[in-house]
Amino acid sequence: MAFIRTQKLVRSDNGRIKSGSAEIIDVQYVKNARFHSKQVVRERLGRIVFLSEDKKDGIFLSPTRSLVEYNALTDAFSNVDRDDYLPLTKFQCLSLLFPYFCPDFFL
Protein backbone atom coordinates (compact mmCIF):
# COMPACT_ATOMS: atom_id res chain seq x y z
CA MET A 1 0.00 0.00 0.00
CA ALA A 2 1.32 3.41 -0.94
CA PHE A 3 1.41 6.42 1.35
CA ILE A 4 2.45 10.07 1.16
CA ARG A 5 5.68 11.03 2.92
CA THR A 6 6.17 14.73 3.63
CA GLN A 7 9.53 16.39 4.05
CA LYS A 8 10.29 19.71 5.76
CA LEU A 9 6.61 20.69 6.06
CA VAL A 10 6.35 24.22 7.50
CA ARG A 11 3.05 25.94 8.29
CA SER A 12 2.46 29.60 9.01
CA ASP A 13 0.65 30.91 12.08
CA ASN A 14 -2.71 30.86 10.29
CA GLY A 15 -2.27 27.23 9.16
CA ARG A 16 -1.19 27.76 5.55
CA ILE A 17 1.57 25.62 4.13
CA LYS A 18 4.65 27.76 3.58
CA SER A 19 7.04 25.10 2.32
CA GLY A 20 7.57 21.39 2.07
CA SER A 21 7.68 18.58 -0.43
CA ALA A 22 6.13 15.14 -0.70
CA GLU A 23 6.59 11.80 -2.41
CA ILE A 24 4.70 8.55 -2.88
CA ILE A 25 6.24 5.66 -0.96
CA ASP A 26 5.65 1.95 -1.58
CA VAL A 27 6.47 -0.69 1.02
CA GLN A 28 7.98 -3.83 -0.47
CA TYR A 29 8.64 -7.21 1.10
CA VAL A 30 12.29 -8.29 1.15
CA LYS A 31 12.90 -11.91 2.04
CA ASN A 32 16.32 -11.77 3.71
CA ALA A 33 16.26 -8.23 5.05
CA ARG A 34 16.46 -7.51 8.76
CA PHE A 35 12.93 -6.10 9.06
CA HIS A 36 11.52 -7.95 6.00
CA SER A 37 10.43 -4.76 4.23
CA LYS A 38 11.81 -1.61 2.69
CA GLN A 39 10.36 1.70 1.58
CA VAL A 40 10.83 2.67 -2.05
CA VAL A 41 10.06 6.06 -3.62
CA ARG A 42 7.60 5.52 -6.46
CA GLU A 43 7.17 9.15 -7.54
CA ARG A 44 8.15 12.57 -6.30
CA LEU A 45 5.09 14.79 -5.89
CA GLY A 46 6.95 18.07 -5.45
CA ARG A 47 5.79 21.15 -3.55
CA ILE A 48 2.78 20.77 -1.26
CA VAL A 49 -0.07 23.18 -2.02
CA PHE A 50 -2.73 21.52 0.17
CA LEU A 51 -2.60 18.46 2.43
CA SER A 52 -5.48 16.93 4.36
CA GLU A 53 -5.18 16.46 8.11
CA ASP A 54 -4.79 12.67 7.81
CA LYS A 55 -2.15 13.10 5.04
CA LYS A 56 -4.00 10.74 2.72
CA ASP A 57 -5.03 13.34 0.12
CA GLY A 58 -3.41 16.48 -1.19
CA ILE A 59 -2.73 18.90 -4.01
CA PHE A 60 0.85 19.17 -5.22
CA LEU A 61 2.88 21.20 -7.69
CA SER A 62 4.64 18.24 -9.29
CA PRO A 63 7.67 18.70 -11.55
CA THR A 64 6.40 15.95 -13.89
CA ARG A 65 2.60 16.35 -13.73
CA SER A 66 2.25 20.10 -12.90
CA LEU A 67 -0.69 20.87 -10.57
CA VAL A 68 -2.20 17.53 -9.54
CA GLU A 69 -4.31 15.99 -6.78
CA TYR A 70 -3.29 12.62 -5.34
CA ASN A 71 -5.38 10.35 -3.13
CA ALA A 72 -3.43 7.62 -1.31
CA LEU A 73 -6.54 5.58 -0.43
CA THR A 74 -7.58 5.08 -4.05
CA ASP A 75 -4.01 5.47 -5.37
CA ALA A 76 -5.27 7.81 -8.08
CA PHE A 77 -4.23 11.12 -9.61
CA SER A 78 -6.63 13.76 -10.88
CA ASN A 79 -6.02 17.03 -12.66
CA VAL A 80 -6.74 20.23 -10.79
CA ASP A 81 -7.70 23.62 -12.17
CA ARG A 82 -6.87 26.74 -10.20
CA ASP A 83 -10.54 27.49 -9.61
CA ASP A 84 -11.26 23.99 -8.28
CA TYR A 85 -9.43 24.13 -4.97
CA LEU A 86 -9.01 27.76 -3.85
CA PRO A 87 -10.10 31.16 -5.11
CA LEU A 88 -6.63 32.70 -5.27
CA THR A 89 -5.58 36.20 -6.20
CA LYS A 90 -2.79 36.75 -8.69
CA PHE A 91 -0.39 37.53 -5.86
CA GLN A 92 -1.26 34.27 -4.05
CA CYS A 93 -0.65 32.28 -7.26
CA LEU A 94 2.77 33.94 -7.53
CA SER A 95 3.51 33.04 -3.91
CA LEU A 96 2.93 29.35 -4.76
CA LEU A 97 5.51 29.52 -7.53
CA PHE A 98 7.96 31.90 -5.81
CA PRO A 99 7.49 31.52 -2.04
CA TYR A 100 10.70 33.29 -1.04
CA PHE A 101 9.81 36.47 -2.88
CA CYS A 102 6.29 36.78 -1.42
CA PRO A 103 6.18 37.49 2.33
CA ASP A 104 3.34 35.82 4.24
CA PHE A 105 1.90 39.07 5.62
CA PHE A 106 0.71 40.06 2.11
CA LEU A 107 -1.53 36.97 1.82
81 or 11, greater pLDDT: 11
Residue 98 pLDDT more than 60?
no
The answer for residues whose C-beta is within 8 angstroms of residue 57's C-beta and 6 or more apart is 51, 69, 70, 71, 72, 73
Distances (CA, A) of 34 to 38, 91, 92: 10, 50, 47
Domain count, the chain: 1
What is the pLDDT at residue 87? 45
Q: What is the pLDDT of residues 51-69, one digit of tens each?
A: 888 999 988 988 888 888 9
In one letter, which amino acid is 86? L
- Which secondary-structure segment (H or E) carries 11? strand 3-11
Centroid of chain to Cα 36: 28
Q: How many CB atoms lie within 10 A of CB 10?
A: 11
Instruction: Categorize the per-residue pLDDT at 102 as very low, low, confident or very high, splitting at 50, 70 and 90.
Output: low
